[in-house]
Amino acid sequence: MKIIDGKAVAATVLLECQQEIAELLEKGIQPGLAVVLVGEDPASQVYVASKVKTCAELGMHSKKIVMPATSTQAELLDVVQQLNNDPTIHGILVQSPPPPQINEEEIINAIDPRKDVDGFHPQNVAKLVLEDPSGFVPCTPAGAMRLLAAAGIDTNGAEAVVLGRSMIVGKPMALLLMAKNANATVTVAHSRSRDLPALCRRADILIAAVGRPEMVKADWVKEGAVVIDVGINRIADPSKKSGFRLTGDVAYDEVASRCSAITPVPGGVGPMTIAMLMKNTLQAARQINGL
């Protein structure tokens, strides 16, 4: 059984980014990423800090904008518009989830699709469907595909089951696995699917992205399957200093022994998300500058 080390693969991706940034700097281009955070959600603050820190380590320009939790839709749209017009910014990310008064869909649609490094704008979603490489692929599924490649997993003709149908992970993940360069046979399963355990047992490659702690049990997994656990859930744990522990959507301890390869949580897909965000920002910097 192989444990797929997301930290190691992410380090490789960031090294590639570093070399690319050096080449862009020689051409007088410093890639720039803006992260907008509305409110003070603790998990979002951790993510944003991590993105800003990674930018600094790579020599990228970053702009962090923190807006009060009471901000209006118009105020946030105004900030997005300023960033769309800012030539030093190539990637714009509005941290999700925003407070309830914010219409997230309208915000996503307002971001210049050339700077939509999250890959959620309708134009980029369409490019993913059309397999147009100039579009941006959402970072988490892009990271999961990179992990499969790094672990030497052949997706060609494999039966893949994606558990979850969100626009952030499930749907783009299914499209990437179906694409001509992956050639998997894909089933998308979700909370309304009949007999989820039986569906999951068919999978040569099982992608778990439902956001339910340890939902996938050993008897859901075929012997020798590859399991990519996208879930990151906080579970109360008084034995930990923080008062909680992180767990995935897969019951790791009981599932791992059945797998040929599996990603741990933490340290699997998580580190890849930020690495692929940096990759997308560099792609944006190149494309905006006509390279």
pLDDT single digits (tens) 209-234: 999 999 999 999 999 999 999 999 98
For residue 45, give both structure tokens.
């603050």
pLDDT-above-90 percentage for the chain: 92
Catalytic, 95? Answer yes
Give the dihedral sign, CA 37/169/274/29: negative
Mean pLDDT over 144-171 rounds to 97
Distance CA 67, CA 145 (A): 34
> How, if at all, do strands 91-94 and 159-163 pair?
unpaired
pLDDT at 176: 98
Flag the least confident range among 28-37, 113-122, 239-248, 277-286: 239-248
Q: Tens of pLDDT along 28-44?
A: 999 999 999 999 888 88
Place of tokens 């930020």: 274
CA 67 to centroid of chain Cα atoms: 23
Q: Residue 31: count other Cβ atoms within 10 Å of its Cβ.
A: 28
pLDDT-above-70 percentage for the chain: 100
Flag the least confident range among 106-115, 179-188, 241-250: 241-250
Strand segments, DSSP code E, in 143-229 are: 159-163, 185-189, 205-208, 226-229
Q: What is the separation, in whole angstroms, between the first and last Cα of the chain?
A: 42
Distance CA 132, CA 227 (A): 28
Mean of all residue pLDDT scores within the chain? 96
Is residue 284 within 8 Å of residue 90, measured between CB atoms?
yes
Burial of 161 (0-12, 13-18, 19+ CB in 10 A): buried
Cα pseudo-dihedral 77, 79, 84, 85, rounded to 10: 120
Taking CA atoms, 148 is separated from 42, 90, 256, 276, in Å, by 31, 28, 16, 14
Catalytic, 51? Answer yes
Beta bridge partners of 66: 37
Q: Tens of pLDDT along 92-118?
A: 999 998 999 999 999 999 999 999 999
Alpha helices by DSSP H, listed for 59-119, are: 73-84, 104-110
Is residue 46 within 8 Å of residue 76, measured between CB atoms?
no
Q: Which pLDDT band holds residue 83 (cuts at 50, 70, 90)?
A: very high
Distance CA 70, CA 12 (A): 40
pTM score > 0.85 for this model?
Answer: yes
List CB contacts of 54: < 8 A, sequence separation 6 or more: 14, 274, 275, 278
Element containing residue 262 per DSSP (H, E): strand 261-262
Phi, psi of 15 (to 5 degrees): -65, -40
Residue 88 identity: T
pLDDT at 242: 85
Count how many residues are written for the chain: 291
The active-site residue out of 112, 115, 116, 118 is 118
- Candidates 133, 39, 142, 57; CA nearest to 94 is 39
The active-site residue out of 95, 112, 204, 283 is 95
